[in-house]
Amino acid sequence: MATIIDGKKISGEIRNEIKAGVDELVAGGHRPPGLAVLLVGENPASMAYVRSKTRACAEVGFHSRQINRPASISEEGLLRLVQECNDDPEIHGILVQLPLPEHIDSQKIIEAIDPAKDVDGFHPVNAGRLMVGLPGFVPCTPAGIIEMLVRTGTETSGKHAVVLGRSNIVGKPIAQLLARKGRGGDCTVTIAHSRTRNIEEICQQADIIIAAIGRARFVKGSMIKPGAVIIDVGINRVEDENSEKGYRLVGDVDFDEAEKVAGAITPVPGGVGPMTIALLLRNTLESARASSGLPSSLR
Ligand SMILES: NC(=O)c1ccc[n+]([C@@H]2O[C@H](COP(=O)([O-])OP(=O)(O)OC[C@H]3O[C@@H](n4cnc5c(N)ncnc54)[C@H](OP(=O)(O)O)[C@@H]3O)[C@@H](O)[C@H]2O)c1
């Protein structure tokens, strides 16, 4: 049976490190890290994500500001809010919760965020810096996956990693991180997507599978090489009449089948999800350190 990679436990360790980092910053006479979270509309999933981010901020001693606006806000109105946060010295990180209503161009909003406060790492400047191997904000979910691999002592060098999905948020950046030189990298990477042929055979060759496609239980046990490391990013609702809510969350991997074949696997929930929030906090702490003229605390 596979070892379960406990994202809650690892993210707890990171949060403790962040809390210590905040204490050090404040003891040095600097402002605590500040995160602004902009939420447009009332999408229940977005509201739940924002609540957990705001709670996480409070737990580590951050200053956080939740800015809620109705779905009817204009693009100009939202751009103005972003600009206010860019100009605010108490704010070191700006997060615009996606998706945005259709009348707002998400890319335009992302590009309005000061790259130095873009703790989600979605701004093209940060995406470009990752591409050429310069320091910058790395998107939180991929950064969290690398932390998980490193902190569980998973060897990545020379391994074949198959990334399922090519989104800007997960697939592309995790592929870059796994392929780059050094810590948690040096993999041979294959990126698969909806047009990929023979996806089953490609997965069977993987030492590491990163599943980020948003299809419930897509990766079956038969697609996994014995002993492979499986990182399940997917969050999918499936009906469950035994649950009070009428549904439950499952990943992109068929966990019950996969745990019989894999060497290690992340559960859903309790795997990648908590790591994403921990890395958001870490990016914000790094931003606050930089704005105080302090060096990065990252290895
Ligand atoms: N745990 C976390 O913190 C976290 C964070 C972010 C996302 N997620 C979850 O991760 C999943 C992916 O998110 P995302 O934002 O990357 O999704 P996305 O933007 O919808 O991208 C999905 C990707 O999967 C590919 N794909 C879809 N169906 C496929 C199939 N049958 N076979 C192969 N590839 C397929 C798509 O290919 P094409 O490009 O060809 O369309 C696309 O590249 C979602 O379930 C999301 O909820 C979790």
Q: In terms of DSSP bridges, do strands 3-4 and 264-265 run parallel, antiparallel, or are they unpaired?
A: parallel
Please tell me the total number of residues recorded for the chain in this structure: 299
Residue 23 Cα to ligand 1 middle (Å): 37
pTM exceeding 0.95? yes
For ligand 1, whether the C-beta of 213 sits within 6 Å is: yes
Per the annotation, the verdict on 6 as an active-site residue is no
Percent with pLDDT over 70 in the chain:
100
Ligand 1 atom with the shortest distance to the CA of 144? 3
* Per-residue pLDDT, 298: 78
* Per-residue pLDDT, 10: 98
Q: Give residue-wise pLDDT tens across range 51-77.
A: 999 999 999 999 999 999 999 999 999
* Per-residue pLDDT, 145: 98
* Mean residue pLDDT across the chain: 97
Domain chopping of the chain, boundaries: 29-114, 140-273
Residue 299 binned pLDDT confidence (cut-offs 50, 70, 90): low
Structure tokens at 279: 């890395």
Catalytic residue among 117, 118, 120, 252: 120
Instruction: Say whether 140-273 and 29-114 share the same fold.
Output: yes
5 in Cβ contact with 148 (< 8 Å): yes
Q: Mean of the pLDDT values across residues 205-220?
A: 98
- Which residue among 233, 238, 250 is best mutated to probe the pocket of ligand 1, counting the most ligand atoms within 8 A of its Cβ? 233
What is the homologous superfamily of the domain 140-273 according to CATH? NAD(P)-binding Rossmann-like Domain (3.40.50.720)
Residue 90 pLDDT exceeds 70: yes
Residue 119 Cα to ligand 1 middle (Å): 21
Q: Give residue-wise pLDDT tens across range 92-141.
A: 999 999 999 999 999 999 999 999 999 999 999 999 999 999 999 999 99
- Looking at 3.40.50.10860, 1.10.357.10, 3.40.800.10, 3.30.70.270, the CATH number of the domain 29-114 comes to 3.40.50.10860
- In angstroms, the CA 236 to CA 212 distance is 11
Q: Mean of the pLDDT values across residues 263-274?
A: 98
Q: Mean of the pLDDT values across residues 207-224?
A: 98
